[in-house]
Structure 1
Amino acid sequence: MKTVTWLAMAIAGLMLLSGSALAQPPAADADDDQAVEETTVQSSILGDAIGEPVIDEIVITGSRIRRDAYSDSLPLTVITNEQALLSGLDNVSEILQGSALASGVQIDNTFTGFVVSGGPGASTFGLRNLDAGRTLVLLNGRRFTAAGTRGQVSNVDLSSIPFIAVQRIEVLKDGASSVYGADAVAGVVNIITRRRFDDFIVEVDWQDDADYGAVSMLWGQTFDRGYIDFALETSKFGPVKRFEREFSTCSERQLTNGELHPSLFAPTAGRCFGSINGYADVYGIARTPISLIPDNSGNLFGLGIPWRQATYGPDGGRIVETGFRDDRNWVDEDLLPQRELVQLYSDGLLDLDLGDVLGAASATYEFYFSRREDVFGGVHRQFFPFVHPNNPTNPFGVVGGVARPIVMSYDMLDPDTHVENDVTALNLGFDGDRGDFSWDVNVGYSWSRGGWSYDSWLKDKVARSLSSGVAPDGSLQCVFDPLQMYYASGSGFEDAVLSRILSEGLDPSCVPLDLFNARAIRGGVDRSAADYISEIQHLETDYDLLTATFNLEGRLFDMPAGEARGVLGLEWRSRELDDRPSMASVNDNQWGFTGAGRTQGDDRVSEVYGEVELPLLGGRPWVEELTLNTSYRWTDYSSYGDDTTWRALLNYAPNTTFRLRASLGTSFRAPAIYELFLANQTGFASASIDPCNNYRDPASDIDSGSERFKNCARLEEQGVIPPGYAATSSVNVITGGNLDLKAETSKSKTVGLVVTPDLADYIPVLGVDLSLAFDYYDIDLNNSISRLGAGTVLSRCYSSANFTAPECALIGDRTQSGDLSFVNSSFVNVAVEGSRGFDISLRTDREFGFGDLSFDVLATRVLGYEYGLTGDSDPFQYIGHHAYPKWRGEADLRFDWRDYTLTWSMDYVGSTDEEPVYELFSDRSVTNLHKADGTLYHTLSARFVDPNGRFVLVAGIINLLDDEPPRVGWAAWGPSATAPVNFNIPIGAGYDYLGRRLFASVSYSFTGP
């Protein structure tokens, strides 16, 4: 459905009448109709039974100043536990990543097999198209530890927060570094938990797909001088295998005319793209008496070994490629991984009397624990080492030359990856009031302990096992032949591997490996040989966060329009990261896997901040309210140095109907620990990403007038690459930290209009309450820290005139054969990065004699997100590309009648479109399928609450129309310039992988209201 159509439906629905589904927090006064503009919090599914206490003063996200009610002074969205459950959502990551607030690539569980910040299984959230490192996540207004595995740990893992303990999620859509410190560049997510209640509640959640189920328990007790709360939650999800969804059965190179790309030499007849089956490549010249010409079955004469996975026609004819994706991966590979979670939460308060000096006070604590266990069903890998002709298993012998068997690892290597992550946090605090001032002191310590294990081949043992000879009894045995081992070392001819073997000498436990027999070609070898060349690798990652804060807040002086209030605060933080890969990884001894060193570093932060709010005018004609809020923060990082940030907020309400709000401020983000200290990680990319690979081949469709063609021709003229160059080796990709990084700085501005007319006064017959909010934002970042992918670096360099792009400095010299030596994909400061757009939220509601009807809409429109390495370079525009749609939206239509609630929720992801890519080997003027249409998801649900408020049942259907995610075709140089694509689906882009499914949530209160 087109964007305009969807918005028209939303506006028409709004005019029906309706009211908020996302909800105003319970802490607000019941008679305060100046609620947060995008939501009106209603009691949660458990809140009906719990009953929330009235709080005299509150602190809203975005300010540290206490006030007696929520206001419209900040662009704040509030999402309640209740609304999430009515939409079939019961975890924090799904709530945020599936909302209209999510823009840009969001790291979620669709990133199976990808290297991401936080490691496999991490879930993060970023506002305003910026990555998660620019959105600060708080828990009850306090920082929470980053979590994950591998070296790139810096962001909060949303899956570590128990949902049953969540009362609401407040999302500030404005920069707030001067209020909360670094990282609050795009905004703040503040997760507020339930507290202070007397009840014991059990909840069970279920879905009829992905083997999902969850059991939760919530207990609370209040007493004369305080309270104590406790929550426990456990859940299991998946796995979901590729074959269980039609759209993920195989990767396709679909063209815009609806056909599939003619793969290499002949049409694929609808088969999957990708060559994986077993065969043997021959290097060298073949002479008699052995013929290396395939027969009509594709086997080499006299050898019975498939050659290059190709067959000839009955009369010789044309080669027909048969190297399509293998069906065993189709069965074994995960679309979504298996996950098990166990989460604990507890908090409490005890009132104290600290005497005449400090007065009444309270001691508080909060404790969190989460264990996440993920199993990723991975791809069965190819195994393709070089085998020297001296090896008796090489059927081509010395006349055939070096051979390279291309075999699958079905019985050789466990493809699964196992991840465990424990997150623990403890906060202890004191707070109190004395006269006109309140104070609080808090010390928090939180830590993450992650583990990651997987099976890998060892380079040195592969080399030893492929150095073979014939024993006296005719059997195969290992021999200490440096030449054979040199050819078989790693990806071939690795001096470091051979040197290590020679220094260690003979290995009596060596088991010879034969990769040319029929069993090996089909993906299996003797168990003893498989065990010898492989080893389980274990990686451990520790992240620690220690914080201490002090706040003093209160009345400064009186002004004609009210009290001037202020805050003075101190904050200190210590963060430490220690990522310890296996020794095989440190020594770069893993065959076909990346190598990595130990990443270890720490940082200390000291801050002083203040905030003042001045009611300039109020209660006058055309000036119902005019308020100025200013905040300032000084920050000193031990790793970088000091800097300051500030923000000014102006609120003007000429009357009770209209309100204008505007902010201007700066933000600051020092490099994360891993961005500074990440030990070099080596990986490799396919040779096909070389821009000069077969660049003169007419089938490549490379325009001879393009800068890419000219640059490659220039290299050929200079003798850097040979005539008819075809890349033959993988490209080494280096990723590491950068101690020369500068801190990010940014300036953001927002302008908003809030309209809350009292329609009952103007048109009493309607009886409709209406609220409209419009907010424009503009964020400009300087020295933004980022990492460019190897393909992006090469593309931007070779597309520039005479290699003038700044990305060219990240590319190493070419080797003697013309191949690329390396691409540096480490962290750099980006000169140009900016995001701008606007949000529209509209809500209406009407009370009928028989029930209440409400309708909410939140729509986001991104006007631009630019990214450029230098100030002189043309920035790349992300908007409109995959994962960066121009529009996202959500709407909720809700009807409450007695003990029943009916809800219809809609979520919209706008269309995206990549640049057309003309396919290789195509003789038709059709391009790769590069457009993803907009997708509108529907969810229906019903809720019943028994009259006593003890039993609550919610049931519904998610993705009512069973909409599949849009598919795009794989292009020759990659499917997307902005987002990873897996199984032809842009991932991290907000699409639903599971399809139509039933859900239910049942809770029971043993105590009752």
Structure 2
Amino acid sequence: MKTVTWLAMAIAGLMLLSGSALAQPPAADADDDQAVEETTVQSSILGDAIGEPVIDEIVITGSRIRRDAYSDSLPLTVITNEQALLSGLDNVSEILQGSALASGVQIDNTFTGFVVSGGPGASTFGLRNLDAGRTLVLLNGRRFTAAGTRGQVSNVDLSSIPFIAVQRIEVLKDGASSVYGADAVAGVVNIITRRRFDDFIVEVDWQDDADYGAVSMLWGQTFDRGYIDFALETSKFGPVKRFEREFSTCSERQLTNGELHPSLFAPTAGRCFGSINGYADVYGIARTPISLIPDNSGNLFGLGIPWRQATYGPDGGRIVETGFRDDRNWVDEDLLPQRELVQLYSDGLLDLDLGDVLGAASATYEFYFSRREDVFGGVHRQFFPFVHPNNPTNPFGVVGGVARPIVMSYDMLDPDTHVENDVTALNLGFDGDRGDFSWDVNVGYSWSRGGWSYDSWLKDKVARSLSSGVAPDGSLQCVFDPLQMYYASGSGFEDAVLNRILSEGLDPSCVPLDLFNARAIRGGVDRSAADYISEIQHLETDYDLLTATFNLEGRLFDMPAGEARGVLGLEWRSRELDDRPSMASVNDNQWGFTGAGRTQGDDRVSEVYGEVELPLLGGRPWVEELTLNTSYRWTDYSSYGDDTTWRALLNYAPNTTFRLRASLGTSFRAPAIYELFLANQTGFASASIDPCNNYRDPASDIDSGSERFKNCARLEEQGVIPPGYAATSSVNVITGGNLDLKAETSKSKTVGLVVTPDLADYIPVLGVDLSLAFDYYDIDLNNSISRLGAGTVLSRCYSSANFTAPECALIGDRTQSGDLSFVNSSFVNVAVEGSRGFDISLRTDREFGFGDLSFDVLATRVLGYEYGLTGDSDPFQYIGHHAYPKWRGEADLRFDWRDYTLTWSMDYVGSTDEEPVYELFSDRSVTNLHKADGTLYHTLSARFVDPNGRFVLVAGIINLLDDEPPRVGWAAWGPSATAPVNFNIPIGAGYDYLGRRLFASVSYSFTGP
């Protein structure tokens, strides 16, 4: 319904403009006949306060050929600094990720607690449903370094670019690998900075939520032979805690009938999903004939601690379970983390005279620096080691056998994660003109230095501290008991941990740990014991990019319809990645945390490219313009080998009203450094992720006719799993590089129609300028490089008939006890990956005697995004699932009157729906709420510019109607096959977490226009 409403608003806006025009005298003919994308180019928040210099020739994103005007031959969307500020946006990541161009999962700061490319806090952007590695990000037409922490660093972190220095962002919605290089599979983002101006500007930005504030300054000076510019920006955001938003206060299991699941986790029972944490899990305890079941308070043996038991309702769902309620979780955990940014930018130019040979030339430089500091306020990490019955603290002894205390650990470990990332870049260049040709040479060096620190338990010290006995004085003391230590090693029974302890021998500093008391279950252990088993971990990540380019562009020869122009260029790049985790991580000695080795690798890329544009026909009846643009690139990777890419672009304009544009091109992307060399990262998933865990238990509600049930029954018949199998061991998950990866190749097709009628000639009474563009795209990738999550691998394998899914090859053999040994989640080549859809852009504007009214719309429709591991398998269709809506859109209605501007902005995220069959491991999930309705956000703003052009005030309301993100039912097995879900919300999907808030931006120019 909201989709229809949103489209109706777009139509209504057009009718409003034309209808209003009927009541006004005809306006003068407009002289702006550019296409939809280019009409949005403005200067800045100050309007004309920073004027643009007169430029004889320009280079638009998507081509290296110089032109004398913006061209609508390419599907290009331009977002200006002014547009963003009027919408309450003042950073590059929010602008791109919040636009209608964002499709698919976008990595942003909602990914707290998730392992993502670039590490915690990174912000990336991907076009056409493809991940960020297939969208090239440029700064002033040049490559910018990747940034982040941990081993998976390959993409530009958008938060490292100072917004005050940004003049506009050009987004090319077409593959351009032959023009810019292998990364430009889905498109190109080119961030253009302000330059060549005389002014000193101070700007302050503020929002009344999340403690957000920013202070910026911009200074520029021109002189006879050049210019110099400088920008500085500092900002602070957050944190925003879970309890500060109603939708995230309590994780829920909502049902499709609008009710909550009547489980022990339901808020109606006074508890949130996952809030029961403090208790003891006892294995092998005999309930009869020896009665050990505690009373309703769960007070076992008078110890004051609960142990795990449950009462089941008629539907099999647990409705009562003993345990201490975790009330601090929702208070302490961050919904959005704290962030502090400091950013610097400077550029300059000096004109030179290089004599008769090279002629007039210029020397240029660009310098960038950004420091990002994030603090992720976490909650306690659950601590649940096995304790052997010989340990005197284990009250269950030989009757209960091994036991596990489930400890909240609030006072045992600092749950916060600290990330610091410095990004520095320096570009030096020379450019000049000689006759009909222009040339430029550029050398750039940029580097990222990331650090990540966190507190972690050590497996060997946990095992030592849980191997204890009674001292002669009756106190607890550490004992060197291999059996006790073996039970308590890591997630239990880890040979490597025990062998390391035995080789090292006694540790005189060992402090015994008693976890079987009410205080300990709540995390309140002795400080000396907590300090002994924990250690601050430090990780450092370096990424370096060195580039050198040479371009020669100019007139080749004359044709009847104009000049044939061409480009010849050389490019060389060196990339190095060095990720250095702590020794505890390298040795896989972190309890309850992933282990990882050192990831180190480098690559060298050499390229030769060319581009030719031929004006085939022009100025004839039915052929106002017919132009062919072709480009070709040869690329050689030292890590892989060489290949070529090409693109052909045809533009046909029968007259000044209509233009057809079409392109066909290829791409080639060798594996990224981390995809090749990522050292194995070992983690673990809960035992409940095992598809056969309690599969015969009526409480599991697993359909006996499902493929999952049949496959587990087959394993039971073969003796692979025991009767009544219940998983007892966490599942090892391995993620690493793959030296056998093949290069990605792709072919992309685009077809577009641009309509720019001069309505003043046809219907003078309207007085409305209209521009309309439609672009269709189709991208097919072969040997796409990707990785599947452990849950996805297990789900697809066990949901296939007789284990025939290709994902089954990524699962290790089961152990003697029947548990899963490992799941391989490393990088693989995917046989089938494709994306197709279309964009619609509309712009109308009307000049009145008292002001100007304009209306802009951008809508994207995704027709398909398929993903299949092998050519023989049925591809998985992502469209319609969380983070992959069929429709996204944005619209701006703007009125300019004298020194005032009023803007109404709308952003739409379409509905999504998870098919229950894709939810993991339980047919009960069909009752979980798995549909997210479409969401329409509104922003109102007003701008005032004083008559002298020095003082500018922008103020408004973001998310006017205070729309919350759509909630989906939380489930232990995961409610989404395509996007992570946190706090009942699909994350990275374009939803607003902050709600209604005021914003203001104040700037002052000390020089004036």
Counterpart of 2:428 in structure 1 is 428
Distance 1:922 1:187, change over 3 A: closer
Q: TM-score, normalised by structure 2?
A: 0.97
Cα distance between partner residues in 1 of 2:437 and 2:240: 55
Contact 1:20 1:844 in 2 (8 A): no
Deviation sequence 1:376-399 (CA, Å, 0-9, x none): 011211111111222221122333
Distance 1:514 1:154, change over 3 A: same
Contact 1:80 1:168 in 2 (8 A): yes
Contact 2:955 2:1001 in 1 (8 A): yes
Q: 1:982-997 residue pairs with structure 2 within 5 A?
A: 982-997=982-997
The Cα shift of 1:634 comes to: 0.2
Distance 1:918 1:841, change over 3 A: closer
Cα distance between partner residues in 2 of 1:481 and 1:341: 51
Cα distance between partner residues in 1 of 2:111 and 2:848: 47
Contact 1:917 1:971 in 2 (8 A): no
Contact 1:21 1:856 in 2 (8 A): no
- SS of the residue 2:484 aligns to: helix
Contact 1:253 1:969 in 2 (8 A): yes
Cα distance between partner residues in 1 of 2:7 and 2:219: 43
Deviation sequence 1:241-299 (CA, Å, 0-9, x none): 00000000111111001111122699963631114431112223459998522123221
Contact 1:460 1:489 in 2 (8 A): yes
Counterpart of 1:735 in structure 2 is 735
The Cα shift of 1:730 comes to: 1.2
Distance 1:803 1:920, change over 3 A: closer
Deviation sequence 1:309-331 (CA, Å, 0-9, x none): 65899999997225586220110
Distance 1:430 1:103, change over 3 A: same
Contact 2:36 2:841 in 1 (8 A): no
- The answer to which of 687-696 and 452-461 deviates more is 687-696
The Cα shift of 1:596 comes to: 0.3
Contact 1:368 1:426 in 2 (8 A): yes
Distance 1:754 1:695, change over 3 A: same
Deviation sequence 1:70-109 (CA, Å, 0-9, x none): 0110000000000000000000000000000000000000
- SS of the residue 2:927 aligns to: coil
Deviation sequence 1:459-515 (CA, Å, 0-9, x none): 111111111122222221112222211111111111111111111111111111111
Distance 1:325 1:552, change over 3 A: farther
Contact 1:38 1:773 in 2 (8 A): no
- The answer to which of 44-53 and 405-414 deviates more is 44-53
Contact 1:700 1:920 in 2 (8 A): no
Contact 2:25 2:765 in 1 (8 A): no
Cα distance between partner residues in 1 of 2:368 and 2:691: 50
Cα distance between partner residues in 2 of 1:838 and 1:180: 23
Cα distance between partner residues in 1 of 2:553 and 2:28: 20
Cα distance between partner residues in 2 of 1:987 and 1:691: 25
The Cα shift of 1:698 comes to: 3.4
Contact 2:210 2:239 in 1 (8 A): yes
Deviation sequence 1:94-139 (CA, Å, 0-9, x none): 0000000000000000000000000000000000000000000000
Cα distance between partner residues in 1 of 2:32 and 2:484: 81
Query: Aligned residues, how many?
Result: 1009
- SS of the residue 1:301 aligns to: helix
Deviation sequence 1:140-162 (CA, Å, 0-9, x none): 00000000000000000000000
Percent identical residues: 100
Residue segments in structure 1 that go unaligned for 5+ positions in a row: none
Cα distance between partner residues in 2 of 1:315 and 1:86: 53
Cα distance between partner residues in 1 of 2:44 and 2:169: 12
Contact 1:86 1:941 in 2 (8 A): yes
Contact 1:952 1:1004 in 2 (8 A): yes
Distance 1:601 1:308, change over 3 A: same
Contact 2:919 2:977 in 1 (8 A): no
Deviation sequence 1:570-595 (CA, Å, 0-9, x none): 00000000000000000000000010
Contact 1:278 1:309 in 2 (8 A): no
Contact 1:251 1:970 in 2 (8 A): yes
Cα distance between partner residues in 2 of 1:838 and 1:755: 16
Contact 1:256 1:927 in 2 (8 A): yes
Cα distance between partner residues in 1 of 2:22 and 2:999: 20
Q: 1:695-714 residue pairs with structure 2 within 5 A?
A: 695-714=695-714
- The answer to which of 16-25 and 937-946 deviates more is 16-25
The Cα shift of 1:706 comes to: 2.4
Contact 1:171 1:189 in 2 (8 A): yes
Cα distance between partner residues in 2 of 1:21 and 1:573: 55
- SS of the residue 2:297 aligns to: coil
Cα distance between partner residues in 2 of 1:97 and 1:18: 32
Distance 1:895 1:982, change over 3 A: same
The Cα shift of 1:703 comes to: 2.7
Q: 1:287-436 residue pairs with structure 2 within 5 A?
A: 292-308=292-308, 320-322=320-322, 326-436=326-436
Distance 1:315 1:700, change over 3 A: closer
Contact 1:18 1:853 in 2 (8 A): no
- SS of the residue 1:650 aligns to: strand
- The answer to which of 502-511 and 636-645 deviates more is 502-511
Deviation sequence 1:962-990 (CA, Å, 0-9, x none): 00000000235311010000000000000
The Cα shift of 1:36 comes to: 5.0
Distance 1:425 1:267, change over 3 A: closer
Contact 2:676 2:738 in 1 (8 A): yes
Distance 1:578 1:267, change over 3 A: closer
The Cα shift of 1:38 comes to: 6.0
Contact 1:21 1:854 in 2 (8 A): no
Cα distance between partner residues in 2 of 1:767 and 1:672: 53
Q: 1:218-229 residue pairs with structure 2 within 5 A?
A: 218-229=218-229
Q: 1:119-268 residue pairs with structure 2 within 5 A?
A: 119-263=119-263
Contact 2:367 2:427 in 1 (8 A): yes
Contact 1:32 1:69 in 2 (8 A): no
Contact 1:133 1:155 in 2 (8 A): yes
Cα distance between partner residues in 1 of 2:844 and 2:314: 72
Contact 2:316 2:698 in 1 (8 A): no
Contact 1:930 1:968 in 2 (8 A): yes
- SS of the residue 2:56 aligns to: coil
Contact 2:252 2:265 in 1 (8 A): no
Contact 2:925 2:971 in 1 (8 A): no
Distance 1:849 1:449, change over 3 A: same
Distance 1:39 1:888, change over 3 A: farther
Contact 2:304 2:517 in 1 (8 A): no
Distance 1:971 1:628, change over 3 A: same
Distance 1:482 1:545, change over 3 A: same
- The answer to which of 990-999 and 924-933 deviates more is 924-933
Contact 1:149 1:451 in 2 (8 A): yes
Distance 1:438 1:463, change over 3 A: same
Distance 1:288 1:851, change over 3 A: closer
Contact 1:297 1:312 in 2 (8 A): no
Cα distance between partner residues in 1 of 2:288 and 2:167: 79
Distance 1:320 1:649, change over 3 A: same
Contact 2:43 2:167 in 1 (8 A): no
Distance 1:789 1:354, change over 3 A: same
- The answer to which of 273-282 and 359-368 deviates more is 273-282
Contact 2:918 2:977 in 1 (8 A): no
RMSD: 3.3
The Cα shift of 1:705 comes to: 2.5
Cα distance between partner residues in 2 of 1:264 and 1:815: 32
The Cα shift of 1:234 comes to: 0.1
The Cα shift of 1:428 comes to: 0.2
Contact 1:23 1:42 in 2 (8 A): no
Residue segments in structure 2 that go unaligned for 5+ positions in a row: none
Deviation sequence 1:742-762 (CA, Å, 0-9, x none): 000000000000000000001
Cα distance between partner residues in 1 of 2:917 and 2:641: 46
Deviation sequence 1:321-369 (CA, Å, 0-9, x none): 2558622011000000000000000000000000000000000000000
